[in-house]
Structure 1
């Protein structure tokens, strides 16, 4: 199995993690149980926050608020009216 070190930054939390490379249709980093275990994470279920100590600092990772998610969506969804048509011969 191929592995690669990847830099990761979330707010004030910056780290380097070892990721296993697997074939996917999308390009994502999935932070799962190995990452949580290695960082001795504390998960708060009701608020969906993750707490850890990193470089001597206590860090709390919280989900983005709905208003922030919506504003990011508005900024990234500039739709262009691009219509591509092909004739029957071109499709064949």
Structure 2
């Protein structure tokens, strides 16, 4: 992730350790995906063996990790610091 926005120069990390809170957002997103996948497996495959859940959900969580990493930081920036995109403030560097 860039230290500063390439368009407007905004510094993303407001203070040292700022994105530690994004880890909790990431944890919540992963938990929600695992919960939904568990329900889908339960109802779609008629309650299979416990290892079936592990063999489907664990790779799924690994596959969504890059998206989850970025999305959790975006959500943290938007909801905690109130940063939102404003095309009028765009400048060239």
What TM-score results when the alignment is normalised by the length of structure 2? 0.27
What TM-score results when the alignment is normalised by the length of structure 1? 0.27
- Higher relative CO (Cα under 8 Å, sequence separation at least 6) belongs to 2
Considering fraction of residues, name the structure with more strand.
1
| Structure with bigger gyration radius | 1
Considering fraction of residues, name the structure with more helix.
2
